[in-house]
Amino acid sequence: MKKSLLLFSICLFFIATTWGQAGSIGIMPYPQSLIIKEGQFVFPTTTHLNYIGNKSILIEKAIARFSKKYKQYSLKNIVVDQRNNPNIQIEWVKEKNTDVKSKEGYTLSIDDHVTIKAFTEIGILNALESLAQLLNAYSQGAVLQKMEIQDWPSFPWRGMMVDVARHFIPLDMMKRNVDAMAAVKYNILHLHLSDDEGFRIESKKYPRLHQQGSKGEYYTQAEMLDLIAYCKDRGIVVYPEFDLPGHSQSWFAGYPDLAAEKKEYHPGLRFTVPGDKPMSLMTLMQLAKSSATPTIDPSKETTYTFLDGLLKEMKGIFGSGGYVHMGLDENNGVAWQKNPAIVKFMQTKGIKTTHGLQTYFANRFSNIIEKNGYQPLAWEEAFDSSVSKNILIQLWRPGFMGTPLTPEEIANQGNKSISSRGFYLDVFMPAYYHYLNDDFTKFNISPNLLGGESAIWGELMDASNFETRVWPRAAVIAERLWSDKNRIEVSSMYERMFKLNRYLSWNGLNQINNSARAISEFLNGYSNPGTEALIKVLAPVKGYKRIMAIMTKPEVLKTSAFGEMADIIPIDAEAKWQFRKQVENYLDNPSEANTALVTNTLLLWKNCATDVNELLLNAPKLISIRKHAENLSNIANLLLAYLPQKNETDKAVLLKQITMAKSTINEVDLAVVEELEALVNGRFKELDRSISLF
Ligand code: ACM
């Protein structure tokens, strides 16, 4: 008994020290096994790199990208040659191994030289991405801590879904996004290419799809081929989603005969928000449920001929063997019920419900997909007992929409699944919410769950804020899909995430620059320290509240451009997590140094109301966050007086003020209320994971 207790303690100690170190090793996703060794390896002025193994264009290109990054950090050169005792040796070990570990895994040893080994080209690519991150973390003079990494993915499917239909994302921006994806070992890019608001790929066979369905914003076939090749070089597979039978208004602009309801169509919202008055959430949901939203006609053979023609054409672009996503989400069936020919069709076929008709459509569409050499994939609404077992099911619906479907239930019917539940980036949740996703951290995960996808829907983003909305949180989801589910350490994760954020920015991603530029525009080019400090601790309201605010205010909907504070600031305020660390240290040990750090931050915040007021004349948009400035100043002032004395009466006043400061104002929250509250109470509450979506 005692012995096992001792063993348990040793294990705990080991886990604790490994986790403790994790924060200081700047790498994301965190490797499955990383052992720190004594000493450091200093790269020489000219680094010799030797690649052993069969010729591989993919690896040669990856080495060239790595060398470019290395030069950027260290101003030193890499020479690729066959010299003995190279500084970096890369070996593609040919073996017929097909398990997940060896398909993408690698070993990376940093000793008196760097050795990389992998069974596949992709493994080598992954190792080079890890090495580049590590070099960046220890950039000065290209010095690396000696260590031994053995790494492999937990899940084979690590995707990102990007909605380019609501707002178009141009090719160069998508390529930057792909570079960032490769850096954190995503291997799948799911492009949501069509929705009510846009059809975003050129079709030569049915040209009115992109001509009349995209307002001129679409990928030409040449551009898509370019993007696919770019992704392939980085170990990423691209697959398209053609979302049907609902979400299809843009198709009908050019091909109205495909629609269940005969009328004129233009790309745009799938139901009209009537009147000019703000609407309640209930009214809006009712409207979505009861409107005859644009839906394809599943009763006509010509529909299937059309889809077959489109998929045949797309084979020339996406190749075959991969996946095609059919959508199948959020179809309320109303447009079908309103069409007598469709109702008759259902009777003839003995189909009792519109859901049954959707299953009929799903099976027809998936047959066409398979006939054309692809594999079918659909959102979870497609799932029922009579849908084809070949359809991979993508979970997404959170609990509030009824009991959530599970990978186990799907597996019981013989289908495989992936999940985006808890991975929606457009819901503005902090990174820890994604990181702690129960579906991917619980003890027993169905082997039929192949992995997951982060997902960014496009209602609240366009090219101006796409990168800021996706990164750095997408990296945390990549870590959840790659790393050991038992290694959960939120503060290390945040430390590494913000490090990675800067790394991605140095490598060309515009997530930090775009936010800074938009904030400068918001401030009309003016600034002062208090205002800057305030903006750094703001965050958009969590959940769907920002989109609801836009949807339920028709006047905003008409003019919406993403220039309000809620649209331009990062979801996770780095200054919040830095302050949290200060407060944790102070509560642990209120030493002079720890007290001074907290006090200095409070002194900065104390002035933010005065500073914001000073700028108001020149930067009038600041009015939307003035109340937050007043709250923060007020609380900082009170805390500066409270902390040395800890007077009970002051405490009550403070807690009341903090409760008031929790209010969302213009869809913006003060992100440091939990930390302020902890300073008063002397302890932190658990991180909130039951954040309401509405
Ligand atoms: C979805 O979010 N409608 C898949």
pLDDT in tens, 91-106: 999 877 778 788 999 9
Sheet holding 88-92, edge to edge: 33-42, 143-151, 106-110, 114-118, 88-92, 46-52, 77-80
pLDDT band at 282 (very low <50, low <70, confident <90, very high): confident
Centre of ligand 1 to C-alpha 92, Å, is: 40
CB-ligand 1 contact for 459 (6 Å cutoff): no
Half-sphere exposure of 123 (CA within 13 A, CB side): 27
Spatial CB neighbours of 619, under 8 Å, sequence gap ≥ 6: 522, 523, 524, 526, 531
User: Best mutation site among 270, 326, 379, 417 for ligand 1, i.e. most ligand atoms within 8 A of its Cβ?
Assistant: 379
Measure Cα distances from 452 to 130, 429, 440 in Å: 21, 17, 9
Asked if residue 306 has pLDDT above 70, the reply is yes
Spatial CB neighbours of 10, under 8 Å, sequence gap ≥ 6: none
Asked if residue 22 has pLDDT above 60, the reply is no
Strands (E), 254-331: 323-327
CB-ligand 1 contact for 330 (6 Å cutoff): yes
Centre of ligand 1 to C-alpha 128, Å, is: 35
Q: What is the pLDDT of residue 560?
A: 57
Centre of ligand 1 to C-alpha 396, Å, is: 7
Centre of ligand 1 to C-alpha 329, Å, is: 6
Centre of ligand 1 to C-alpha 555, Å, is: 25
pTM comes to 0.95
User: Best mutation site among 161, 190, 330 for ligand 1, i.e. most ligand atoms within 8 A of its Cβ?
Assistant: 330
pLDDT band at 139 (very low <50, low <70, confident <90, very high): low
> Cα(362)–Cα(244) distance, rounded to whole angstroms?
9
Q: How many residues does the chain have?
A: 694
Asked if residue 314 has pLDDT above 90, the reply is yes
Asked if residue 400 has pLDDT above 80, the reply is no
What 3 state SS string does 479-547 have?
HHHHCCCCCCCHHHHHHHHHHHHHHHHHCCCCHHHHHHHHHHHHCCCCCCHHHHHHHHCEEECCCCHHH
pLDDT band at 140 (very low <50, low <70, confident <90, very high): low
User: Best mutation site among 381, 424, 457, 693 for ligand 1, i.e. most ligand atoms within 8 A of its Cβ?
Assistant: 457
Mean of pLDDT values over 405-428: 96
Query: Of 509, 676, 491, 494, whose CA–CA distance to 574 is shortest?
Result: 494
Unique residue bearing structure tokens 């991917």 = 440
CB-ligand 1 contact for 579 (6 Å cutoff): no
Mean of pLDDT values over 486-499: 95
Asked if residue 205 has pLDDT above 80, the reply is yes
Unique residue bearing structure tokens 């260290």 = 74
- Per DSSP, 665 falls in state B
- In this structure, are residues 455 and 427 in contact, taking their beta carbons and an 8 Å threshold? no
DSSP-derived pairing of the beta strands 417-419 and 668-670? unpaired
Q: Render pLDDT for 494-538 as a digit per residue (tens, 0 to 9).
A: 999 999 999 999 999 999 999 999 999 999 999 999 999 999 999
Question: Can you tell me which atom of ligand 1 is nearest the CA of 380?
Answer: 4
CB-ligand 1 contact for 318 (6 Å cutoff): no
- Is the dihedral angle over the CA atoms 92, 97, 98, 102 positive or is it negative? negative
Spatial CB neighbours of 230, under 8 Å, sequence gap ≥ 6: 175, 178
Question: Can you tell me which atom of ligand 1 is nearest the CA of 379?
Answer: 4
Asked if residue 347 has pLDDT above 70, the reply is yes
Q: What are phi and psi of 505, to 5 degrees?
A: -65, -45
- In this structure, are residues 376 and 388 in contact, taking their beta carbons and an 8 Å threshold? yes
Asked if residue 561 has pLDDT above 90, the reply is no
User: Best mutation site among 396, 426, 427 for ligand 1, i.e. most ligand atoms within 8 A of its Cβ?
Assistant: 396
Q: What is the pLDDT of residue 20?
A: 38
Instruction: Residue 43: count other Cβ atoms within 10 Å of its Cβ.
Output: 19
Give nearest CA residue, ligand 1 atom 1. Answer: 329
> Cα(573)–Cα(77) distance, rounded to whole angstroms?
36
Q: Helix and strand tally (H, E) in the chain?
A: 30, 18
- In this structure, are residues 688 and 665 in contact, taking their beta carbons and an 8 Å threshold? no
CB-ligand 1 contact for 572 (6 Å cutoff): no
Mean of pLDDT values over 295-305: 98
Centre of ligand 1 to C-alpha 677, Å, is: 36
Asked if residue 270 has pLDDT above 90, the reply is no
Cα-based torsion angle of the residue sequence 58, 61, 66, 69 in order, rounded to the nearest 10 degrees: -140
Asked if residue 8 has pLDDT above 70, the reply is no
Strands (E), 270-356: 323-327
Q: What is the pLDDT of residue 280?
A: 76
Question: Can you tell me which atom of ligand 1 is nearest the CA of 327?
Answer: 4
Domains of the chain and any CATH numbers: 5-16+511-681 (no CATH), 33-151 (3.30.379.10), 157-488 (3.20.20.80)
Q: What is the pLDDT of residue 13?
A: 33
Mean of pLDDT values over 427-438: 97
CB-ligand 1 contact for 396 (6 Å cutoff): yes
Instruction: Residue 662: count other Cβ atoms within 10 Å of its Cβ.
Output: 13
Give nearest CA residue, ligand 1 atom 2. Answer: 396
Catalytic center residues: 330
Strands (E), 584-670: 668-670
How much is the mean pLDDT over the chain?
92
- In this structure, are residues 434 and 478 in contact, taking their beta carbons and an 8 Å threshold? no
Give nearest CA residue, ligand 1 atom 3. Answer: 329
CB-ligand 1 contact for 329 (6 Å cutoff): yes
CB-ligand 1 contact for 223 (6 Å cutoff): no
Q: Render pLDDT for 609-639 as a digit per residue (tens, 0 to 9).
A: 999 999 999 999 999 999 999 999 999 999 9
SS3 content of the chain, % helix, strand, coil (to 5): 50, 15, 35
DSSP-derived pairing of the beta strands 198-199 and 188-195? antiparallel
Higher pLDDT among residues 558 and 164, named by residue: 164
Asked if residue 276 has pLDDT above 70, the reply is no
Q: What is the pLDDT of residue 138?
A: 61
pLDDT band at 135 (very low <50, low <70, confident <90, very high): confident
Share of the chain above pLDDT 70, in %: 94
pLDDT band at 545 (very low <50, low <70, confident <90, very high): confident
Query: Of 522, 520, 456, 470, whose CA–CA distance to 500 is shortest?
Result: 470
Centre of ligand 1 to C-alpha 243, Å, is: 10
Asked if residue 23 has pLDDT above 60, the reply is no
Question: Can you tell me which atom of ligand 1 is nearest the CA of 247?
Answer: 3
CB-ligand 1 contact for 379 (6 Å cutoff): yes
User: Best mutation site among 329, 331, 693 for ligand 1, i.e. most ligand atoms within 8 A of its Cβ?
Assistant: 329
User: Which pair of tokens denotes residue 178?
Assistant: 């792909």
pLDDT band at 17 (very low <50, low <70, confident <90, very high): very low
Question: Can you tell me which atom of ligand 1 is nearest the CA of 381?
Answer: 4
State the DSSP H helix or E strand holding residue 597, giving kind and residue range, or none if neither.
helix 592-606
Centre of ligand 1 to C-alpha 455, Å, is: 9
